[in-house]
Structure 1
Amino acid sequence: MDTILGPLYTAVSWIIVQFHKLYSLVFDEDSGWAWGLSIVSLVIVIRIALIPLFVKQIKATRNMQAIQPKMKAIQERYKNDRQRQSEEMMKLYKETGTNPLSSCLPILAQSPFFLALYQVLNKIANNQEVGVMGADLVESARNASIFGAPIATRFMDSAEKVEALGASLTDVRVVTVIMILMMSASQFYTQRQLMTKNVDLTAKTPFMQQQKMLMYVFPIIFAVFGINFPVGVLVYWLTTNVWTLGQQMYIIKRNPTPGSLAYKQRQEKLRAKGKLKEDPAEVEARKAVETARANRQQPKRMTKAQRQAAAAQAEADAKAKKAAGQQTSLSKEASKDSPSARPGQQSKKKPGQRKGSQRSKHPSKK
């Protein structure tokens, strides 16, 4: 590995030494500030050089989000034919100009520098010359410490090795644990910001599930492997995480993914400033949706006693309604059976009844 990464050892050590000379004008040349800030500056140089790859990563990620529905349709259509499914996938990538590996380019490009720095710090810890760093610079970097933890020490180092560098094992472990937690937290927040603000939430795709899984997996990976990283590597990785977070915040604010929460917030701000020209039909549709949302009443949450009382009242109302229906039915039956309700059954007057009544009123003379 030394033969393959030899040129990188030279490049990484040269960059660190140049920045160390610069910071030595302000800080003590053997201090952790001079060497720690040199590592931070190394990260900044690498990340500036990787900006074009980061732009490609953003475009590739958006293209992957856009074609996820088509990819899912291909998977469903050719789920029993893996070869045809793979051919259709490659055809889709070619038609849309999408490269699945583009989203990993910044990490892949940064990995050799990370490995080179890891080996440089290992050699410094073992008091070995590396790259352009002679014996004097190696000794200076080896004894430099950040908050009491030498930059070449690890969480898993023995007490004897730490004491040989003039530090205590407690200080080293406290500093490394704090840095590992900060490193994992920054990675989690970066991924969470991407998921909550810069993803089209209207499209439920496997890509979203994958990103959600990575949001929890990456911090765990950093926490597990971080205990074997030298303090200088932890400084490197924490710095690159903070850079990624700031860079992502800038991209989300300036150029968010269409359909995402950040995109909607940006559209609202532009609309409020009068800088956004919209189709009148879209304006009317949005107003209709907002009006319907405002008029919609959410059901009130009731306690258990209130629910029981409501159920009892509903049951009583049902019984009363049923009883009223039965009473109405009986009344109708009774009206049908009454003599006055029967046609042709009206009472007839007997013959002579009228005359008798008249005779009673007008008695004949005898």
Structure 2
Amino acid sequence: MNFFDIILWPLRWVIEVVLVSGHAFVTSLGMPFNSGWSWVLAILVLVLIVRSAMIPLMLKQIRSMRGMMEMQPEMQKIRDKYKGKRDQFSQQAMQQEMMALYKRHGSSPLSGCWPMLIQMPIFFALFQVLQAANQNRAGVGMMSLDLAKSFSESTIFGAPMSAVLSHANGNSTIITVAVVLIVLMVGTQFFTQFQITAQNVSQAAKESPMYRQQRIMMYLFPLLMVVSGVMFPIGLMVYWALTNLWTTGQQWWTIRNMPTPGSDAAKKREERLRAAGKWDDHPDNPANKKKKFDEETGKPIVQTGQRQQPIGKQRAKKKKGKR
């Protein structure tokens, strides 16, 4: 066992627990034990657990990335201020101003990488589970030899879960299923990035270098998925495709309900709130920025001229009894 295997061992053990438990659950509902669709549903359970646990991190990432996009004009001003100044004092001062800007906006240059960095070990651990199953070896935990064989040899549309496109040897079934999964992976990834760049970026941020970099990544990531899809097993691509579908739905909800101020998505949301008669009292309305809102009802608190004194429990009971 090499160093990489040792690091992934605990994560692999947890993944096997989730997969085996998910498989046992769906088979108890009547799904065939050796069906590839039973294992697809088990992988879906894994995706739901992983992505649900990552929701707080994703929300933090969304806020941070939105702040990153919105502060690009200010960032460019700092760069212009120190343009041509290569001395150590100027470079240090520029870095300090940039760090202060990040802190003010609650953003970080690494914020967009964390979800991917967290998911990569899960991805490789699942790859090891499939690899062991394909070699007729039991897992490190709950994945017995019988379950490993079932996982490896089960098929979806006739293609084994352990099959790899690069080793298809002309098998049209494996090639077709793998290509469909790659198209699904690429399509969902591209659509997710397109939603952000087309709808959830303000006009000022669109003029920044970061926006142009994000546009490049929108085309680069799908190409990486094409290359990866050729080398990875069908079961792993199922996990990736399901994860991308979750991301697409999550991004749609975020853009609809938490759009970047000044973006097209924010304008559409304002139009929906106006049509529903909720914009005048909504916290996102610039006219309400100085108002305080009730945490339970979400409605603005009306300030009266006289401050209401707090009433103790005993006085409150007496007052209620008099009524």
- In the superposition, the TM-score normalised over structure 2's length comes to 0.80
Alignment match of 2:8 (pick from 5, 8, 31): 5
Correspondence 1:198 to 2:200: yes
Which structure 1 residue ranges, 4+ long, deviate > 6 Å from structure 2?
none
Stretches of structure 1 that go unaligned for 5 or more consecutive residues are: 160-167, 284-366
Aligned residue for 1:121?
130
Change (3 A) 1:212 1:12: same
Distance 2:225 2:198 in 1: 22
Aligned residue for 1:268?
271
Distance 1:22 1:99 in 2: 41
Distance 1:175 1:54 in 2: 31
CA contact (8 A) 1:54 1:106 kept: yes
Alignment match of 1:157 (pick from 167, 192, 199): 167
Aligned residue for 1:319?
none
Alignment match of 2:218 (pick from 215, 225, 234): 215
Aligned residue for 1:174?
176
SS class of match (2:136): coil
Deviation at 1:154, TM superposition (A): 0.6
Alignment match of 1:48 (pick from 45, 52, 58): 52
Distance 1:235 1:201 in 2: 37
CA contact (8 A) 1:183 1:222 kept: yes
Aligned residue for 1:143?
153
Aligned residue for 1:20?
23
Aligned residue for 1:346?
none
Deviation at 1:214, TM superposition (A): 1.1
CA contact (8 A) 2:44 2:242 kept: yes
Which structure has the greater CA radius of gyration?
1
Identity %: 42
Correspondence 1:130 to 2:142: no
Deviation at 1:244, TM superposition (A): 0.4
User: How many corresponding residue pairs?
Assistant: 272
SS class of match (1:19): helix
Stretches of structure 2 that go unaligned for 5 or more consecutive residues are: 288-323
Deviation at 1:62, TM superposition (A): 1.2
Distance 2:280 2:148 in 1: 61
Higher relative contact order (CA 8 A, sep 6+): 2
Distance 1:158 1:191 in 2: 31
Aligned residue for 1:68?
72
**RMSD (Å), alpha carbons:** 1.8
Alignment match of 2:33 (pick from 6, 29, 33): 29
Distance 2:254 2:107 in 1: 20
Distance 1:98 1:198 in 2: 17
- In the superposition, the TM-score normalised over structure 1's length comes to 0.71
CA contact (8 A) 1:200 1:259 kept: yes
Distance 2:267 2:12 in 1: 46
Distance 2:172 2:104 in 1: 57
Deviation at 1:158, TM superposition (A): 5.0
Amino acid at match of 1:78: Y
Amino acid at match of 1:188: F
Deviation at 1:98, TM superposition (A): 2.0
Aligned residue for 1:101?
110
Amino acid at match of 1:189: F
Deviation at 1:5, TM superposition (A): 0.7
Q: Select between 168-177 and 108-117 the one with higher mean Cα deviation.
A: 168-177
SS class of match (2:165): coil
Deviation at 1:134, TM superposition (A): 1.6
CA contact (8 A) 1:184 1:222 kept: yes
Distance 1:97 1:54 in 2: 14
